[in-house]
A = this chain, B = another copy of it.
Amino acid sequence: MILALAGGVGGAKLAAGMARALLPDELVIAVNTGDDFEHLGLQVSPDLDTVMYTLAGIANPQTGWGQAGETWSFMQALERLGGPAWFQLGDRDLATHVERTRRLASGESLTAVTRAICERLGVRHAVVPMSDDPVRTVVHTDKGELEFQHYFVRERCEPRVERIDYRHSAAARPSAALSAALANPALRGVVICPSNPYLSIAPILAVPGVREAIGRCARVVAVSPIIAGEAVKGPAAKLMRELGVEPSAVEVARYYRGIARTIVIDRADAALAPAVEALGLHAAIEDTVMRDDADRERLARACVALLDRTGM
């Protein structure tokens, strides 16, 4: 059994590749919920949705969020009524939020709700939240403290980031499924997907016990989301610069030192391999840009093979 940590578009793509490479009982995908928020009275879990929709084959490939073939009548009507329009909610996507909110209100855990929605969407691999307790990523910026979605969507990542905190993480417990995966004697290893380390992976590691359990696991492979100094998608490179870190696969490796043993860097960054190795980590060179299902599966198989060669 392999545990994948994921959040965001790159993470969802590799998770989908792993779901192509592994059987349902061979994979647990633990997803960041630090981005979750309440909007219009609805419980929105953007990273869970991106992973679920990507695995279900219904993700919108253009936007990186929401569903393909979406319609927008709700949003148009809401704008006419003067409702808050900064967070786009497609008509189909909205059903996920409404159904999640309804089930949570009836007392189900986020894990149970996610399982039920996955089942209905035909997702057979385990997609689990990092925690059933609320953790909220808060971005401290030159424009003040911003809830994650306010920073990410409303302010389009424009404010300069000074610091990030994962609010309520100290009180959160890992979800039972994540705990079980970490404690499973059959755990072959952990793959940290090419998600934003600070915004998607750090909240998972901030849940008490998770960082330690992964640190104890000999076989951990992390895929750098930074290629040639830039993120394929999203604000990772800008954010690293603002935090005083050079956006490079080497700095991603440094960030994951003590957690991962192997860092997968893109072929474009092959020249950085010695700098990664100098950190005491193994650098593996792969094509990490995932343009289609075949790319996803190839990178996933490479990560699985690396796990078996890592550690011990």
Please list the residues of chain A having a beta carbon within 8 angstroms of any beta carbon in chain B: 40-42, 67, 70-71, 73-78, 80-84, 90-96, 98-99, 101-102, 105, 116-117, 120-121
Which of A70, A71, A91, A99 has the largest count of B CB atoms less than 10 A from its CB? A91
Q: How far is the CB of A173 from chain B (nearest CB, A)?
A: 26
With A71-B71, A73-B71, A73-B73 as known contacts, state yes or no: A81 contacts B96, CB within 8 Å.
yes
Cβ contact within 8 Å between B120 and A92:
no
Determine how many copies of this chain the complex contains: 2
Cβ contact within 8 Å between B120 and A81:
yes
Cβ contact within 8 Å between B71 and A120:
no
- Ordered nearest first, which 9 A-B pairs have the shortest CB separation? A77-B95, A73-B91, A77-B92, A78-B95, A71-B73, A83-B99, A91-B91, A74-B91, A81-B99
Cβ contact within 8 Å between A116 and B83:
no
Which of A77, A92, A98 has the largest count of B CB atoms less than 10 A from its CB? A77
Cβ contact within 8 Å between A80 and B41:
no
Cβ contact within 8 Å between A98 and B83:
yes
Given the complex, which residues of B lie within 8 Å of A41, measured CB to CB? 41-42, 98, 101-102, 105
Given the complex, which residues of B lie within 8 Å of A90, measured CB to CB? 73
Q: Which residue of B lies closest to A122 (CB)?
A: B80
Cβ contact within 8 Å between B71 and A102:
no
Q: List 21 A-B contacts (CB under 8 A).
A: A40-B98, A40-B101, A41-B42, A41-B101, A73-B73, A74-B74, A74-B91, A74-B94, A74-B95, A77-B91, A77-B92, A78-B98, A80-B95, A80-B120, A80-B121, A81-B95, A81-B99, A81-B116, A82-B116, A82-B120, A91-B91
Q: Which of B42, B73, B78, B101 contacts A99 (CB 8 A)?
A: B78
A142 to B116, CA, bound (A): 35
Given the complex, which residues of B lie within 8 Å of A92, measured CB to CB? 73-74, 76-77
Which of A84, A93, A99 has the largest count of B CB atoms less than 10 A from its CB? A99
Q: How far is the CB of A47 from chain B (nearest CB, A)?
A: 18
Given the complex, which residues of B lie within 8 Å of A117, measured CB to CB? 81
A80 to B96, CA, bound (A): 10
Q: A74-B74, A80-B121, A83-B95 are in contact. List 19 more A-B contacts (CB 8 A).
A: A40-B98, A41-B41, A41-B98, A41-B101, A42-B98, A71-B91, A73-B91, A74-B94, A74-B95, A76-B92, A77-B91, A77-B92, A77-B95, A81-B96, A81-B120, A82-B99, A83-B99, A84-B102, A91-B91
